[in-house]
Amino acid sequence: MSSSHAQTNGALPHEPEKATLEGRNKVLAFWLFLGGEAVLFGTLFATFLALRNQTNEGPTANELFQLPMTAAMTLILLVSSLTSVFAVQAMHRHKVAALRVWLMVTVLLGLCFLGGEIYEFYEYVHAEKFGMTTSAFSSAFYTLVGFHGAHVAFGVLWISILIGQLYKKNLTVVTAPKVYVSAMYWHFIDVVWVFIFTVVYLLGKVG
């Protein structure tokens, strides 16, 4: 291992994610990547808005959505964003154990959200006969919400691996940017969900 990378815990700066050029590059590139992701979701939202009334005699948004359920899911995801903030704060205080715990809580909440989503989709497909092929509305709904769900699933997997990494390698200037960036990702997913909740669910109920 080369000397420039092997930093001991004691010598770790306050913001270890920005201590090296690689770390700063990672954070910057991730901001850029999120810009691209914003366009991606923007296009999906535009598609959804264009097609949301094309129900092709299938179920409509108003008939399908159960707001209490989605509101609960929204709450879960918002809280998970908060716990990931706690994780980053723990990292800045170099408290590795607390960092791991907060990441685990975040992952757990993410899993709860995913469970809710899977249950929701399952109900729609089986009880309401609302599948991918039902209408343009259904295609747009499953694609937009499903894309978000896939992002959540990816985040859960990613952060889990990071937790493992933290056990193996501890907090270093190499692992810190990864933690920081994954938290950025998680907030982004959360923000997207807030839009989904508004545009898909609330607007579907009232609009």
Partner 1 sequence: MDWLTTVDHKKIAILYLLAGGLFFGIGGIEAVLIRLQLIKPMNDFVSAQTFNELITMHGTTMIFLGVMPVIFALMNAVIPLQIGARDVAFPFLNSLGFWTFLFGGLLLNLSWIMGGAPDAGWTAYTPLSSTTYSPNHGVDFYTVGLQIAGLGTLIGGINFLATIITMRAPGMSFMRMPMFTWTSFITSAMILFAFPAVTVGLVLLSFDRILGANFFEVAGGGSPVLWQHIFWIFGHPEVYILILPAFGVISEVIPTFSRKRLFGYSSMVFATILIAFLGFMVWAHHMFTTGLGPVANALFSIATMLIAVPTGIKIFNWLFTMWGGQIRFTSPNLFAIGFIPTFVMGGVTGVMLASAPADYQFHDTYFVVAHFHYVIVGALVSGLLSGLHYWWPKMFGRMLNETLGKLSFWFFIIGFHMTFFVQHFLGLMGMQRRVFTYLPNQQFDTLNLVSTIGAILMGTGVLIFLINAFVTAAKPKGVADDPWEDGRTLEWTIPSPPPEYNFKQIPLVRGIDALWKEKMAGNKSMTPAEPLGPIHMPSPTILPFVMSVGIFIAGLGFMFSKEQFSNSFMSFIFNNWIVVIIGLVITFGSMLLRSLYDDHGWHIEVEELEEEGVKA
Please give the residue ranges that form the binding site for partner 1 (CB under 8 A).
1-2, 4-5, 21, 24-25, 28-29, 32-33, 35-37, 39-40, 43-44, 47, 50-51, 54-56, 132-140, 142-143, 161-162, 164-165, 168-169, 174, 178
Other beta carbons less than 10 A from residue 20's beta carbon: 18
State the residue for tokens 């960036």.
181
Residue type at 104 in one-letter notation: M
User: Would you say 116 or 146 has its CB closer to partner 1?
Assistant: 146
- What single DSSP character describes residue 18? G
Say whether 14 sits in a helix, a strand or coil: coil
Q: At what angle do helices 67-92 and 175-196 cross, to 10 degrees?
A: 160
Nearer to partner 1, 164 or 207 (CB): 164
Closer residue to partner 1, CB minimum distance, 68 or 133:
133
Phi, psi for 15 (deg, rounded to 5): -110, 80
CB of 7 to partner 1, least distance (A): 12
For the bound state, the minimum distance from the C-beta of residue 3 to partner 1, rounded and expressed in Å, comes to 10
Query: Tokens 């997913």 sit at which residue?
Result: 189
**Residue with Cβ nearer partner 1 (3 or 97):** 3
